[in-house]
Amino acid sequence: MGSSIGCAVGGILALCAVAMITQSVLPASPVLLIYGFQPVPGFYPPQLWADIAQALSGRDVGQAERIALDPYHALYRLEPGDPSGRDVFISDYAYPYEPTVRDLRLYASRLAAEIAWITREESVDRIDLVAFSMGALVARSYIEADDFDGVVGTADFPDYRTEYRGDIGTLVTIAAPHHGAEFAALGPWYGPLPRQLDPESRFLALLNAGETEAPFGLNPEVRYVSLAGQSCLGFGCSIRTDVGACRRECVEEGLAWAGHDLVILMASARLPGAENVACIGMDHIEMRIHPAIVSRISALLDGDVEVAALFASPELASAASSE
């Protein structure tokens, strides 16, 4: 009541109403989508994000505009297709016509340049990030750049002059190897990437240092959400006669964060201090396109609260409720 009286005093009720309406329709923060490992050069970044980019922007991904930051670095933009849409940007942190096998911290420095361009051109203080798989480590290498302060300039940690600028609101990671990937030791691969993805790497030890107690080694100014997949509907259950029991076992394993998405262990994707969501019945590739994930990301970026689990089908949700 006091605010209404205040608005009426002096005949400025209309101005107050305009202010309140303006606040209610403030545009959502821009979002930058960050792809994961790409073994084959020449890929087209917007196509990797078609489902999520279109859901967030309200515009077909084929309308993405390429923005050249320099002759060897670009990003893509989808302007909102309707009033409820977001400005969606799609990172292209890799070098042209290369697979993504370079230093993750080098990619983080290129990501930082993309974020700086977006915040400057959009006149915003913060943006949100959605990162798939290895892309999550690129994003964290920027947000948590000071984790490497003590080793920058040494042989395995070149100085890319990357400093976090406090410009990220939310980081949503999808199927991310926060604690490494077991297949990384299989090789030989060229470049530093396999060494960094090794669960025993010094890179991951520094990035995850302090995660046994709050603030868990994470940047306390950023909201972290980690979505981890458990594949339940693959070959294993299809050859069993007790499909229902197989589903229940798989759901139980996923809810205990003991499963995998056929590529990344759920235990690796679980990030202490983050909002962790088990995505039951989804493999690594499905995590980027499944409708349940797509709609959940939209809700999370709109400020919705976390859920403990998402299910790929009603049958899996029923299997969970019967536990």
The pLDDT tens digits along the chain (323 residues) read 444 444 444 444 444 443 443 344 456 899 999 999 998 888 999 999 999 999 999 999 999 999 999 999 999 999 999 888 999 999 999 999 999 999 999 999 999 999 999 999 999 999 999 999 999 999 999 999 999 999 999 989 999 999 999 999 999 999 999 999 977 655 555 678 989 999 999 999 999 999 988 778 899 999 999 999 999 765 556 566 676 788 888 899 999 999 999 999 999 999 999 999 999 999 999 999 999 999 999 999 998 887 899 999 888 888 777 65
Position 7 scores a pLDDT of: 44
On whether residue 318 sits in a domain, the answer given is no
CA distance 87 to 28: 8
Place of tokens 């991310």: 176
CA distance 280 to 233: 10
Over its C-alpha atoms, the chain yields an Rg (Å, rounded) of: 21
CA distance 126 to 148: 23
On whether residue 75 sits in a domain, the answer given is yes
CA distance 251 to 267: 15
On whether residue 196 sits in a domain, the answer given is yes
Query: Which DSSP string do the residues of 82-101 spell out, in sequence order?
Result: STT---EEE---SPTT--S-
On whether residue 313 sits in a domain, the answer given is no
CA angle 184, 46, 101 (to 5 degrees): 25
Do the Cβ atoms of 86 and 80 come closer than 8 Å? yes
CA distance 170 to 156: 29
Amino acid at 256: A
Pairing of strands 275-280, 223-230: parallel
Q: Whole-model pTM above 0.85? A: yes
On whether residue 311 sits in a domain, the answer given is no
Domain tally, the chain: 1
CA angle 207, 104, 167 (to 5 degrees): 70
On whether residue 16 sits in a domain, the answer given is no
Position 1 scores a pLDDT of: 45
On whether residue 314 sits in a domain, the answer given is no
On whether residue 209 sits in a domain, the answer given is yes
CA distance 310 to 114: 31
DSSP symbol at 224: E
- Measured on CA atoms in the order 191, 197, 202, 208, is the torsion positive or negative? positive
CA distance 243 to 235: 11
CATH number at residue 33: 3.40.50.1820
CA distance 74 to 90: 9
Pairing of strands 73-78, 65-70: antiparallel
Q: Kindly list the distances between the CA atom of residue 277 and the CA atoms of 37, 138, 218, 307, in Å, as whole numbers in the listed order.
A: 22, 20, 17, 6
- Print the domain residue range for 137: 27-227+261-277
Neighbours of 273 (CB within 10 A): 17
- Measured on CA atoms in the order 221, 222, 223, 225, is the torsion positive or negative? negative
Nearest in space to 290 (alpha carbons), one of 235, 232, 222: 232
